[in-house]
């Protein structure tokens, strides 16, 4: 099946750049986008997990690049960060163990889930793009809270691992959905 996401369609119609170069530039662009947005961070005093622009980057990449490219971009991002590149939220890096591990791995799962929906044409309409973005939030927050439960008592989980992130997710999911939908429409 041919991906219906924006970037694969754009790469397919572009004949000016060789396939390998286009794929490499696409990968670097996606990793840079997530890395830069991860630096937009608001630390919260009651939780080890900051509010970040990282999830906006993941949504933009997954909904615009599709499952294969989006997952590869997230894999490279997680690998670079775990090997010491200061690209995680607030310039952090290092192995993925810790209270934020679930959110980071959840973003990888979210990238695949959102990208798979984008590949199936969910970015053709705004509301379906938004639905795909929320599928990603469920992956990220679900796995994030699950892993955080090993670090915090259960009575603190909602306040430390879920509720503070919902308003930002509403905004970031809307931006990612709107952007991917508009990009997809621009190919017509």
**Helix (H, G, I), strand (E, B), or coil: what is residue 178?**
helix
Q: What is the DSSP string of 82-129?
A: HTT-S-SGGG--S-S-STTHHHHHHHHHHHHHHHHHHHTTGGGSHHHH
Domain-located, residue 1: no
Q: Is position 24 within any domain?
A: yes
CATH (domain of 180) = 1.10.1760.20
- Residue 19's pLDDT is what? 75
Instruction: Quote the domain boundaries for residue 81.
Output: 6-186
Residues 6 or more apart in contact with residue 62 via CB below 8 angstroms? 70, 74, 110, 111, 112, 113, 114, 115, 118, 136
User: Average pLDDT by consecutive 10-residue portion of the chain (188 residues)?
Assistant: 65 64 88 97 95 97 95 97 93 86 96 97 94 98 97 95 97 97 82
104 lies in a domain? yes
Beta bridge partners of 42: 51
Domain count, the chain: 1
**Residue 5 confidence (pLDDT):** 67
Task: State residue 143's pLDDT score.
Answer: 98
Confirm whether pTM is higher than 0.85: yes
In a domain, 153, yes or no: yes
pLDDT at residue 15 in the model: 54
Check residue 99 and give its pLDDT. 93
| Residues with Cβ within 8 Å of residue 141, at least 6 apart in sequence | 103, 106, 161, 162, 165, 169
**In this predicted structure, what is the pLDDT of residue 176?**
97
């Amino acid at each position: 099946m041919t991906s219906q996401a924006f970037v694969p369609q754009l790469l397919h119609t572009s004949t000016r750049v060789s396939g390998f170069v286009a794929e490499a530039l696409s990968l670097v662009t996606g990793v840079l986008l997530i890395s830069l947005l991860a630096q937009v961070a608001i630390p919260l005093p009651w939780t080890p997990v900051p509010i970040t622009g990282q999830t906006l980057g993941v949504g933009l990449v997954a909904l615009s690049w599709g499952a294969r490219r989006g997952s590869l971009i997230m894999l490279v991002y997680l690998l670079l960060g775990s090997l010491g590149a200061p690209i995680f939220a607030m310039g952090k890096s290092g192995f993925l163990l810790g209270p934020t591990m679930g959110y980071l791995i959840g973003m990888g799962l979210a990238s695949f889930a959102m990208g798979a929906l984008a590949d199936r044409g969910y970015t053709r309409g705004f509301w379906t793009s938004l639905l795909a973005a929320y599928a990603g939030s469920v992956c990220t927050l679900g796995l994030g809270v699950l892993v955080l439960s090993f670090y915090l008592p259960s009575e603190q989980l909602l306040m430390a691992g879920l509720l503070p992130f919902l308003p930002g997710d509403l905004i970031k999911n809307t931006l990612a959905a709107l952007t991917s939908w508009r990009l997809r429409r621009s190919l017509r």
